[in-house]
Structure 1
Amino acid sequence: MGAGPVSSGVLARLRRGLWPGDNPLRRRTDLFEPIALLVIVLAAAVVLVASFAASQAVLRDRMAEVNAERADRHQVTAQVLGEVPGGSSAIRAVEVAWGDPPAPRHAAVIEMSTATPLADTAQIWVDRADRPTPPPRTPSEATQAAGTAGAAVLFGSGLVLAGTYAGARRYVGRRRLAAWEQEWARVGPRWRHHLR
């Protein structure tokens, strides 16, 4: 036995399920569902493009920030002067100093993890004005932010589209039941007459 008739039968049933055709029992509401499904599929394609565009825009902006931070910040070796009281169990405050003569010496209090052992020196990040600053963001952080933005657009829009389609199907189902009730109210008495 070949697979041709089986696959063509499946395709025919799928086509009939999606498009009611010219069945004499077809109602106007029967056309609504396949049209709504087509609109939802087209909207989903637009959402895919929009989520890709959003993620690319976020990636471009975040990479520009990463490059600007890398150009503005650099690492220096600072001498650890001592721990400052008032830290927490996870973070401690440490006073550090950096700069070689004849340049002016800079000092600041920075936060360090308590998991890092306190040494004589520490690598810190400073900006162009020699002020302590957080390390520059990495390209992987920019990529993660872009992926999150794209996924948020995709997930949020998917929920809206699914909710819209479910609401439309519910509305059509109610309309269909109301139409059947009206027809039965008209036809039902005639059927009861035939049954006696």
Structure 2
Amino acid sequence: MARTSDRVEGVLLLVVMLGLVVALPLAVLIGVGTYHGQAAVSAQQRASRHLAVATLLENAPTPSTDGAFAGNNAAGVHARWTIAGGAERVGIIAADPGTAAGTPVPIWLTDSGDPAPPPLSDSDVTTTGVLAGVFGWLVMGLGLAAVYWTARLVLDRRRVRRWDHEWATVSEKWARS
């Protein structure tokens, strides 16, 4: 014989499992939407940026040998590059440590000739879409799990109170016998 609270808990578990299944297509929609959004950003970046070659005007600093952690290996170095129309620009770009002055270095430029990060790659776009879908499903799953465990807590407290009440009733009967 199952108590009403046991049946409620069983139904709730079934609802959570069905919720996880329903969350899968929602997660796919989140991933696909993110993918398409990132693909549009990538296309816009590819249309407004172009690859150019800059020439270093100074030596890039050599890496530290004192054992200190360096989070980014690239160093800011003065360089010269030519923009559309033939004008030359000078500015600071990232270069690998130890690169000598006069070395050509590939850089991405905006339409106005300013250095910019490279456009999002196809793998960046795909990875972002997949991760958005997976994390979306995980968040929905965690939400469902939180609802389930909260309901279990309430049901367990109710069962304990009822059990205490039943024991009190039985102990009175036993004490009279």
133-142 or 113-122, larger mean C-alpha shift? 113-122
Q: Work out the CA distance in 2 between the residues paired with 1:101 and 1:189.
A: 96
Aligned length: 169
Q: Which of 92, 105, 108 in structure 2 is aligned with 1:122?
A: 105
Question: Where does structure 2 lack aligned partners over 5 or more consecutive residues?
Answer: 65-72
Runs of 4+ in 1 over 6 A off after TM superposition: none
CA contact (8 A) 1:83 1:92 kept: no
For the pair shown, the structure with the greater C-alpha radius of gyration is: 1
Cα-Cα RMSD: 2.8
Q: Work out the CA distance in 1 between the residues paired with 2:128 and 2:99.
A: 28
The residue aligned with 2:87 is 104
Q: How does 1:1-196 map to 2 (within 5 A)?
A: 23=1, 26-83=2-59, 89=64, 90-99=73-82, 103-114=86-97, 119-193=102-176
CA contact (8 A) 2:60 2:95 kept: no
SS at 2:116's partner residue? coil
Relative to the length of structure 2, the TM-score reads: 0.78
Q: Work out the CA distance in 2 between the residues paired with 1:101 and 1:184.
A: 88
Report percent identity of matched pairs: 28
Cα offset, 1:105, TM superposition? 2.3
CA contact (8 A) 1:83 1:93 kept: no
Map Cα deviations across residues 135-181 of structure 1 (whole Å, 9 max, x no partner): 11111111222222222222222222222212222221221222222
SS at 1:122's partner residue? strand
Q: Which has the higher contact order (CA 8 A, sep 6+)?
A: 2
The residue aligned with 1:9 is none
SS at 1:126's partner residue? strand
**Code of the aligned partner of 2:134:** A
Question: Where does structure 1 lack aligned partners over 5 or more consecutive residues?
Answer: 1-22
Cα offset, 1:97, TM superposition? 2.1
Map Cα deviations across residues 94-144 of structure 1 (whole Å, 9 max, x no partner): 222233897222222212121656553222111222222111111111122
Q: Work out the CA distance in 1 between the residues paired with 2:100 and 2:130.
A: 35
150-159 or 91-100, larger mean C-alpha shift? 91-100
**Code of the aligned partner of 1:125:** W
56-65 or 176-185, larger mean C-alpha shift? 176-185
